[in-house]
Structure 1
Amino acid sequence: MSQDTMNPTTTSSNAAWPTDRKWKTWPDWVNLVLGGYMALAPLWTTGASAGWFVTLGLLLVAGSLWALGSASSPASEWTMIVLAAVLFLAPWMGGFAAATGAAWTAWIVGLAVIVFSAVGLSQRKKSAA
């Protein structure tokens, strides 16, 4: 192959180039695992509100799959940040802030998803530049 065919700016399939990022972003994979953890956390976390944990966990899984499957959608990362903020506030909104294990689980996972989504958003901006 010549050097020109290896350069993404000279190929005829420029539209497909950003999709190389699909399913390869590690922060989105971490968020997928964290969402699964939240959905299953009521099984081992005392005082966990199953409704809040399972619902937000499944929404985080769905958001992570959206982020993983879309190569250049910052909306998916912002959606994850909003969901994580709701998760962080869930102990107060759901009335389980006094249940230490459940509250700390929501706070730690919520903050982690915010951080990893921000990293994913930063990576998207770098790959678009």
Structure 2
Amino acid sequence: MFNETRAADSLAVILGILVAISPSWLDHSTRSMWTMIVLGALIALTGLAQMARPAMTELDYAMGLFGVLLFIAPWVMNYHDLTGSAWWSWIVGVITVLAALAAMPQMTGRMHTAH
């Protein structure tokens, strides 16, 4: 069954993969490259885990946290001057948080339908 929760999880997988491989086409530093690879992989893995185990609602919160970390990463990891990498982190970070919010149990009723 494909619903909005499954769509949010699929979006997270796609976004995570794109973030992880984005240093191949964006200007980057070593810090930004590893930050984007690690956070992208974590976002993708969180989406995959949610697709495999929808009852694990804690993963929605983890996905949201990874989105926030991706959003603040340009400032924390000091790559805000690398325009492409910084904007990519900000945009995908916001979209990841929105996908996590859309998949949260309060929004979808997943907690009540999971067995």
Residues matched between the structures, number: 107
Alignment of structure 1 residues 82-93 onto 2, 5 Å? 82-93=65-76
Q: Distance in 2 between matches of 1:44 and 1:25?
A: 29
Q: In structure 1, the residue corresponding to 2:21 is in which secondary structure?
A: helix
Which residues in structure 2 correspond to 1:1-129 (within 5 Å)? 25-47=6-28, 49-121=32-104, 122-123=107-108, 125=109, 128=112
Q: Write the distance in 2 (CA, Å) between the matches of 1:128 and 1:41.
A: 37
Contact kept? 2:54, 2:110, Cα under 8 Å: no
Greater RCO, CA 8 A, separation 6+: 2
Deviation of the 1:67 alpha carbon: 1.1
- Moved runs in structure 1, 4+ residues, more than 3 A? none
SS of 2:22 mapped into structure 1: helix
State how far apart, in whole Å, the 1-side matches of 2:84 and 2:97 are.
20
Q: Which runs of 5+ in 2 are unaligned?
A: none
Could you list the runs of 5+ residues in structure 1 that have no partner in the other structure?
1-19
Query: What amino acid is aligned across from residue 53 of structure 2 in structure 1?
Result: S
RMSD: 1.8
Amino acid at match of 1:128: H
TM-score relative to the length of structure 2:
0.85
TM value normalised by structure 1: 0.76
* Structure index of larger Rg: 1
